[in-house]
Amino acid sequence: MQKELQKLGVEAKAAIEQAADLAKLEKVDVEYFGRKDGKLNNLLKQLKDLSVEEKKTIGPMANALKAELSELFNAKKQEFERAAITQAVETEKIDVTLPGRACPAGSLSPLSTVQYELEDIFRSLGFMVLDGPELESDYYNFEALNIPPHHPARDTQDTFYVKGTLRQAQGDKGKKREKLLLRTHTSPVQVRAMQKYGVPLRAVAPGRVFRYEALDASHDNNFNQLEGLMVDENISIANLIAVMKTLLRGIFKKDVKVRLRPGYFPFVEPGFELDIHCLICGGKGCSVCKQSGWVELLPCGMVHPNVLRAGGADPQKYSGFAFGLGLTRLVMMRYGIDDIRLLNSGDLRFLKQF
């Protein structure tokens, strides 16, 4: 047994020494030190059959050999591992002067770009920028805006109704249980704003609106508007025109001639269509303005007393103007986009141009 141990020791040492790489060393590990069928273990298993005397001498010998071999083995293993790291460091050089990997940057949708620009203009005029719910109640979308049930004006704004009735969001002053719909315009924010902030008030509310439309190049079932409202004592049409001219100067970077034509909307009295002098032909007449010299830009008017009342303002004391700017339309005019459907298409070939 003693001899066998010695022989195994010599053999194993040689095997460890001669292992040329980590893989070979691992083979040696299995062959000699493997738990199941390793040569050393097999030999040690025989220890139990020895006499007590023999155990006393051979036991410590065997343990010493085991310790010696394992030390040798670990040293060799570390040697290989260190060499591997050194090699990796040497071959995998990092060139810190190389340009970084470009990370494709997204960009704002043209709708957002124009919206933010308008918000800036209005903020500079002391307007708040407000948000309103897209899932709106029948009350705010129609009734509070002087459009009672069965009013024919509802026909022009057919929309998507949501089944069932839900409790209105907290803070709403309308009826507690309401029919819900996808808002057809941003005008409901007028009443919400007056209720929340009181009057006098200056606010704009950009946002998405929804209509039941037959889709074509100029009609989509969801598009963006920017609502405006100014309420105070002694507000007149002159204020409306002044603010609109300031707005247009901000958008087109030059003075733009405007005119008001009568227009009907239940929530304003009087109501107007605001036209701008055609910027393409300078008013001489062209295909864009259909030879009229004028382009229809936005509907507006003086806030109807019933709407002021719905907002909690006294129409005897306060008056105001409101307007509904077609944000989507303005974006299309500005960038020469000839199909409204492109804006919500998510088509990168389109979006990457902005």
Known binding positions for Mg(2+) = 269
Spell out, one character per residue from 80 to 119, where the chain touches ligand DAH: x when CB under 6 A holds, - when not. ----------------------------------------
Q: Angle CA(223)–CA(224)–CA(227) in degrees, nearest 5?
A: 140
Spell out, one character per residue from 173 to 212, where the chain touches ligand DAH: x when CB under 6 A holds, - when not. ------------x-x-------------------------
**Position 143 contacts ligand DAH (CB under 6 A):** no
**Position 319 contacts ligand DAH (CB under 6 A):** no
Binding residue count for ligand DAH, defined by CB under 6 A? 12
**Position 266 contacts ligand DAH (CB under 6 A):** no
Say how far apart CA 18 and CA 29 lie, in whole Å. 13
Strand ranges of the sheet holding 222-232, from the earlier edge strand across to the other edge? 128-129, 201-210, 222-232, 319-326, 294-303, 268-277, 258-262
What token pair was written down for 336? 């020469």
How far is the first Cα of the chain from the last one, in angstroms, to the nearest whole number? 86
Residue with tokens 């020494």: 17
Q: Give the gyration radius of the chain's Cα atoms.
A: 41
Q: Angle CA(184)–CA(187)–CA(193) in degrees, nearest 5?
A: 135
CB of 123 to ligand DAH, least distance (A): 19
- The dihedral through the CA atoms of 214, 219, 222, 228 has a sign that is negative
CB of 139 to ligand DAH, least distance (A): 16
**Position 311 contacts ligand DAH (CB under 6 A):** no
Site for ligand DAH in 10-29 (CB under 6 A): none
User: Residue 117 is which amino acid?
Assistant: E
* Binding window for ligand DAH (CB under 6 A); candidates: 67-75, 295-303, 308-316, 327-335: 295-303
Helix (H) or strand (E) holding 237: helix 237-252
Q: Which of 19, 130, 201, 300 binds ligand DAH (CB under 6 A)?
A: 300
Binding residue ranges: 269
Q: What share of the chain is helix, strand, coil (3-state, %, to 5)?
A: 45, 20, 35
CB of 263 to ligand DAH, least distance (A): 7
Based on CB atoms, which residue is closest to ligand DAH, 110 or 266? Answer: 266
**Position 343 contacts ligand DAH (CB under 6 A):** no
Based on CB atoms, which residue is closest to ligand DAH, 4 or 131? Answer: 131
Where along the sequence are the contacts to ligand DAH (CB under 6 A)? 185, 187, 227, 265, 268, 271, 299-301, 322-324
